[in-house]
Amino acid sequence: MNDDDLMDARQTDELVGEDEAQTIALRKLIYGLVDDEVDPTEVGQVEGAVRVVQHIERLEDENDELREEVRRLRDTVREMQEAADLYQSVSHKSAATRDRQAAQLLKKAVTLGSSPTASRRQEFDASRIQDVLDGEVHRTNTYDVMDRAAELVGDENTCWVQKEPRTSSKNTRLIVDTSSDYIPKTVAGVRIHEGVLSE
């Protein structure tokens, strides 16, 4: 409905005879309902009805817009949930990968340390870790593998990360005392036995 509809309604109101008290009561009701800036004494019943219909149409449009906004918000929440699920999945896979890499590193330490001529104290800097893991770990992630290996052993006198300042001639490294009874038989679900890594 548009302004022409209001004009037609106003003309119709002028042609229709009405009871004054009933008309004013209806006009006040319409005026309150549509929350229009129109003097209720100047609105006839037909024009008032048209204004009510227009108001209802505006409310329906607003309702449609709100429904669309709710749909967009639900889509956004769903996308955010999917992103969070993906992040969590990647995080779990990354943690499992670090655990496996740490277990392989400990296995190598035990293998080397069990040799009769080898030192029981095995050390692995970033470069050596990359060699042990056949380059499957980036140099910057070797420190995470060191930290994880020490966490999995859980005894600071058996396995620890020796951090060195940048000015040192030595590199930060993982140190494993393979003579210790604290090296677990199983690390991160991987059995370490006589230098053989088995699931």
> Would you say residue 137 lies in a domain?
yes
Is the pLDDT at 14 greater than 80? The verdict is no
Rounded to whole angstroms, the Cα distance separating 129 from 142 reads 7
Task: State yes or no: pLDDT of 199 exceeds 60.
Answer: no
Which domain does 45 fall in, by range? 3-73
Same domain, 158 and 107: yes
- 189 in the same domain as 123: yes
Q: For the chain, give the mean pLDDT.
A: 76
The better pLDDT of the pair 32, 117 is held by: 117
| Same domain (yes/no): 41, 126 | no
pTM of this prediction? 0.53
* Lowest mean pLDDT across 97-101, 135-139, 150-154: 135-139
Domain membership of residue 68 (yes or no) is: yes
At 78, list the tokens.
């769903």
Cα distance between the two ends of the chain: 76
Question: Which of 13 and 3 is assigned the larger pLDDT?
Answer: 3
* Residues 194 and 105 both lie in one domain: yes
Report yes or no on 93 lying in a domain.
no
186 falls within a domain:
yes
User: How many residues would you count in the chain?
Assistant: 199
Looking at the structure, do residues 24 and 62 belong to the same domain, yes or no? yes
3-state secondary structure the chain: CCHHHHHHHHHHHHHCCCCHHHHHHHHHHHHHHHCCCCCHHHCCHHHHHHHHHHHHHHHHHHHHHHHHHHHHHHHHHHHHHHHHHHHHHHHHHHHHHHHHHHHHHHHHHHHHHCCCCCCCEEEEEHHHHHHHCCCCCCHHHHHHHHHHHHHHHCCCCCEEEECCCCCCCCCCEEEEECCCCCCCCEECCEEEECCEEEC
pLDDT of residue 12: 57
Q: How many distinct structural domains can be found in the chain? A: 2
The pLDDT tens digits for 48-71 are: 667 777 778 888 889 999 999 999
Residues 50 and 108 in one domain: no
The set of residues, in sequence order, having a beta carbon less than 8 Å from that of 129 and lying 6+ positions away, is 105, 137, 142, 145, 146, 174
pLDDT tens-place string over residues 116-139: 888 888 899 988 889 888 878 888
